[in-house]
Amino acid sequence: MRFKSRSGGTVSFREALFQGLAPDGSLYLPVERPDLSGLIRGFDDSTGFTELAAKTAAAIFSPELSPADADTVSRRAFTFSPALRRLDESILLLELFHGPSCAFKDFAAQFLAACMERFLSGETRRVRILVATSGDTGSAVAQAFHGKKNIDVVVLYPSGRVSELQEKQLTTLGGNVHAVEIQGSFDDCQSLVKQAFGDAALKESLGLTSANSINIGRLLPQAFYYIWAMTRRTALGGAANRGADTVPMICVPSGNFGNLTAGVYAWHWGLPVPGFIAATNINDIVPQYLKSGIYSPRSSERTLSNAMDVGNPSNFERLLSIFSGDWNAMRAMIRGISATDGETRQAMREVWDRFGAFVDPHTAVGYKAARDWLGAQGAGGKTRQVIVLSTAHPAKFQDIVRDAVGKEPEIPERLARCLSLPKKAEKLGSRFTEFSGFLREIFT
């Protein structure tokens, strides 16, 4: 697979991976359209997630990931698996929070880290990943790179603006993970990272690279769990009176639209999916676009599902390119539905009351959208099943869940453990000279 940037040149998977953003500032897009349909038909309930990921990765990223390399990388990355949980006849949750940081971002971050480590083995260079986080991305990335050979990670987060749990997840790993607490906002953190990449001498001498969600190596691995979910025949076909042609819709709680874009690539490359639901909070730029054909980004508003508070989704351009920019083609495949905070709380309560299950606020937005869509289908609709991607463990959002439901989910062991460890972070101001001085000091 080769990737192209706006200015036209194509690069290898390896280069796209280490570049992140193309030198002309644009996003890398896949050049080819691999046909995965034969491969996918060969998967069933007996295909474990790691095996499925390895075979799919080999098919997508050939020739740079040989089947043997894809196997090594997948085994190293995926020591956890998704789970499909049936709520009722109509709605299933695809639980993607069984990884180390308890959110779906673990899948892609783990795969990216394992790929980079594989590509760097046998080389003498070292790379340094810089990542700015408002909470969840940082912990998935930090966990994924922790202990990887020839790689250091620097995670910048805004002081006092992340939850205690999120801060502990970032600051208790140690080793090759350096947490930097910035006296400023998330935008200040992002600006420091941008300035570092813009400083050619610094970038070159320290081998700086990025791991944010626009990196193709973090985008495409998300396709694996869509394929996994759609090939669990027993879980999907278990309901009575359902023909083989009634394949479920997939509903994706979305912010930057990386997750949904990966699912749409899986469909574009041969996964049989009747359609997707793009579920957002009131930052509904994409649902509005689907309705009106007008894309108008705006500044984001704060909501309960804060990982989806995005006013100008950076993967929209990629999503549109899959449909060659054709609004009608995109509308035929993707339905947009948004939820207010009130509706999000109501959905958390409903899932508890009806099924005795906790969902986090992001998953709740997806649940609400799925119910709306099912309701609009009425009795005549052929597709009556929706898989909702469950993007985070409810215990990561204890306060919000407790507020809505009146009870709180138990904290998994891997989260509880970091709460008891001491925080270790470097405190810095938001001036670039301070940050660049710090980088030079620890890495030279």
Ligand X SMILES: *Cc1c(COP(=O)(O)O)cnc(C)c1O
Q: Which of 60, 308, 330, 374 binds ligand X (CB under 6 A)?
A: 308
Asked if 318 touches ligand X (CB under 6 A), the answer is no
Instruction: Select the span of 82-90, 110-118, 146-154, 253-261 touching ligand X (CB under 6 A).
Output: 253-261
**What is the total count of residues that contact ligand X (CB under 6 A)?**
16
Contacts with ligand X in 347-366 (CB under 6 A)?
A: 362
Contacts with ligand X in 364-403 (CB under 6 A)?
A: 391-392
Asked if 165 touches ligand X (CB under 6 A), the answer is no
Asked if 253 touches ligand X (CB under 6 A), the answer is yes
**Could you tell me the smallest distance in angstroms from the CB atom of residue 419 to ligand X?**
19
Catalytic residue among 55, 105, 148, 368: 105
Q: What is the 3-state secondary structure (H, E, C) of the chain?
A: CEEECCCCCEEEHHHHHHHCCCCCCCCCEECCCCCCHHHHHCCCCCCCHHHHHHHHHHHHHCCCCCHHHHHHHHHHHCCCCCEEEECCCCEEEEECCCCCCCECHHHHHHHHHHHHHHHHCCCCCCEEEEEECCCHHHHHHHHHHCCCCCEEEEEEEECCCCCHHHHHHHHCCCCCEEEEEECCCHHHHHHHHHHHHHCHHHHHHHCEEECCCCCHHHHHHHHHHHHHHHCCHHHHHCCCCCCCCCCCEEEEECCCCHHHHHHHHHHHCCCCCCCEEEEECCCCHHHHHHHHCCCCCCCCCCCCCHHHCCCCCCCHHHHHHHCCCCHHHHHHHEEEEECCHHHHHHHHHHHHHHHCCCCCHHHHHHHHHHHHHHHHHCCCCCCCCEEEEECECHHHHHHHHHHHHCCCCCCCHHHHHHHCCCCCCEEECCCHHHHHHHHHHHHC
Q: Which of 71, 117, 136, 167 binds ligand X (CB under 6 A)?
A: 136
Q: Which residue, 128 or 255, has its beta carbon nearer to ligand X?
A: 255
Asked if 258 touches ligand X (CB under 6 A), the answer is yes
Contacts with ligand X in 186-245 (CB under 6 A)?
A: 213
**Could you tell me the smallest distance in angstroms from the CB atom of residue 104 to ligand X?**
6
Asked if 95 touches ligand X (CB under 6 A), the answer is no
Instruction: Select the span of 25-33, 52-60, 234-242, 257-265 touching ligand X (CB under 6 A).
Output: 257-265
Q: Which of 134, 254, 281, 398 binds ligand X (CB under 6 A)?
A: 254
- Residue 105: active-site member: yes
Contacts with ligand X in 271-300 (CB under 6 A)?
A: none
**Could you tell me the smallest distance in angstroms from the CB atom of residue 136 to ligand X?**
4
Q: Which of 157, 257, 265, 269 binds ligand X (CB under 6 A)?
A: 257
Asked if 259 touches ligand X (CB under 6 A), the answer is yes
Binding site for ligand X (CB under 6 A): 103, 105, 136, 213, 253-259, 307-308, 362, 391-392
Active site residues: 105
